[in-house]
Amino acid sequence: AALTVLLVPSCTKDDNAATVKIGFSQGMNTDDWRRQLNKSMVIEASLHPEVQLEIKDANNNVQQQVKDIEKFIDRGVDVIIVSPIEAKPLTAVVEKSIKKGIPVIVVDRKIDSEGYTAYIGADNIEVGRIAAKYIVSNSTVNGKIIEITGLKTSSPAYERGLGFSQILKQHPQVKLIATINGNWESGSVKVQLKKLLQNDPDIEFIFAQNDRMALGAWETAKELGLENKIKFVGVDALSTQNGGIELVKKGVLQATILYPTGGNEALRLALKIYNKEPITKNNLLNTIVIDKINAEIIENQLDKVDQQQTVIKQQLD
Ligand code: AHR
C-alpha cells in the first residue's frame, strides 16, 4: 500500500488565511535522492503556514501513482506536483487534472505531452551533454566507453542519453561500444556489465545515468579487478553518506553531475500558481560537473544549505 504522509504546518496559523492544499505524488521513496526531494519540499512547506502538503508514495508502481493522482483530483487539492515514474502511463491522468482545473507541476521526470502547467528540474539533455564533454576531454584517442541508462520509459533516461550521444557524435575519436539499460538502481546492470567487461576489459570510461548505477558498475568492475583501470562518471551528486560527492572524494567515481532535486522550488512554484502570479513553463535548475577539484567546495556549500534548512525546521517544530 502507498504510504501517505500528511504534513500540517506547525507554525501558528492565521485563521483568516485560506489553506492551500498541495498534493505531491512521489514515484518512490527508496533512494536518498527521492528522500532529499521530499525533505526539501517539506521544509519549504513548513515556512508557509497556509500550506497543507500531502505526499503520496507510489512505491515505484505506475498504477498506484495514477490512483494517487486521481485521489488528489477527487479531493480537489489546489495544486498537484508529480514526479512521474514513467512518462506515457502518467500522461492521461495529468491531462485529466488540468481539464478539471487543477494545475500540475511535473518535477524531475516529465510526461509524454506538454499538457502540464510547469516543469521544474535540471535540463536532462544538458546533464547528458556535460557528462559526455567531461569524458571526451579526459579520455585518450580511441578510448572506449560504456553507457548505462536509467529506466528507458522515464524521461531523464531518454534525455540524458540524447545529450550524451549528441556530444559523442561530434568526437569520433572516442568509441561508445555499448549501452546497457538499467532501472536506476545499482543491481540492475551488474549481470550485463560483467559479461561485457569479461569480453572486453579495455574500457576507459563508464557513464551511468545516476550515481547508484555508477556504484553498481564500480562494484562489478571490482569483482573483475578492473576498478582502478576504468573511470566512472555518475549523476545526482548527493552530499549524503555514500552519495556521489563522497564517492568522488573516495576515488570511486571520477566525476558526478549535480542533479538538484527541486523540492523546495517546486513548492514555491505551486504557491505562485495558486496565487495566480506569472510563471515560466520550463523552470531549469543549474547543474555542474563535480570531480576531485571542486568536490570539497561544492559539498560544503550543499551542507550549508542543508544545515540552514534543518535549523529552520527545528525552530518551527
Ligand atoms: O529521475 C531521475 C533520477 O531519479 C535521479 O537521477 C535518480 O537517482 C532518481 O532516482
pLDDT digits over 207-255, tens only?
999 999 999 999 999 999 999 999 999 999 999 988 999 999 999 999 9
Residue 74: pLDDT over 90 = yes
Query: Is any ligand 1 atom within 6 A of the Cβ of residue 210?
Result: yes
What is the identity of the amino acid at 24? F
Across all residues in the chain, what is the average pLDDT? 92
Closest-CA residue, ligand 1 atom 9, reads 33
**Which letter does DSSP use for residue 201 in this model?**
-
Res 2: pLDDT: 43
Q: Is the dihedral of CA 127, 129, 132, 137 positive or negative?
A: negative
Q: Select the more confidently predicted residue: 38 or 315.
A: 38
| Closest ligand 1 atom to Cα of 212 | 8
The answer to whether the CB of 80 falls within 8 A of the CB of 103 is: yes
* Residue 91 grid coordinates: 500522461
Model confidence at 8, pLDDT cuts 50, 70, 90, reads very low
| Burial classification of residue 180, based on how many CB atoms lie within 10 Å of its CB (0-12 exposed, 13-18 middle, 19 or more buried) | buried
Ramachandran angles phi, psi of 154, nearest 5°: -105, 145
Query: Is any ligand 1 atom within 6 A of the Cβ of residue 86?
Result: no
Q: Tens digits of per-residue pLDDT, 293-309?
A: 999 999 888 877 777 76
Beta pairing partners, 255 = 233, 291
DSSP H or E segment with residue 216: helix 211-223
The answer to whether the CB of 147 falls within 8 A of the CB of 207 is: yes
How close is the Cα of 144 to the center of ligand 1, in Å?
25
Res 159: pLDDT: 97
**Nearest CA-CA partner of 25 in 64, 67, 61, 68:** 68
Res 16: pLDDT: 56
How close is the Cα of 14 to the center of ligand 1, in Å?
37
| Closest ligand 1 atom to Cα of 235 | 6
The answer to whether the CB of 221 falls within 8 A of the CB of 194 is: no
Query: Is any ligand 1 atom within 6 A of the Cβ of residue 109?
Result: yes
Q: Tens digits of per-residue pLDDT, 86-134?
A: 999 999 999 999 999 999 999 999 999 999 999 999 999 999 999 999 9
DSSP H or E segment with residue 161: helix 155-169
Q: Quick one: how many helices (H) and strands (E) in the chain?
A: 10, 13
Query: Is any ligand 1 atom within 6 A of the Cβ of residue 126?
Result: no
Q: How far apart are CA 96 and CA 64, in angstroms?
A: 16
Q: How far apart are CA 239 and CA 298, in angstroms?
A: 9
Q: How far apart are CA 96 and CA 76, in angstroms?
A: 13
Q: How far apart are CA 41 and CA 309, in angstroms?
A: 11
How close is the Cα of 184 to the center of ligand 1, in Å?
7
Provide the 3-class DSSP secondary structure of residue 308. helix
Residue 149: pLDDT over 50 = yes
Ramachandran angles phi, psi of 27, nearest 5°: -65, -40
Res 12: pLDDT: 46
- 103's CB contacts (< 8 A; 6+ apart) are 79, 80, 97, 117, 118, 270, 273
Provide the 3-class DSSP secondary structure of residue 19. coil
Res 304: pLDDT: 77
Residue 310 neighbours by CB distance under 10 Å: 12
